[in-house]
């Protein structure tokens, strides 16, 4: 159960981080 929660949290964190970098790059290159 803990492993499932851990992987879900890491996955959510990774997606949010990638999204932040993508938005930052879009604003930076604009």
Model pTM score = 0.47
pLDDT in tens, the chain (30 residues): 788 899 989 888 888 888 888 877 877 766
At residue 30, the pLDDT reads 60
What DSSP designation does 28 have?
A: H
At residue 7, the pLDDT reads 92
C-alpha span between 23 and 1 (Å, rounded): 33
Give the domain ranges of the chain.
1-30
Q: Phi first, then psi: what are they for 24, rounded to 5°?
A: -65, -40
What DSSP designation does 10 have?
A: H
């Amino acid at each position: 159960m803990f492993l499932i929660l851990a992987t879900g949290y890491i996955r959510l964190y990774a997606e949010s981080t990638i999204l932040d970098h993508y938005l930052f790059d879009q604003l930076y290159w604009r």
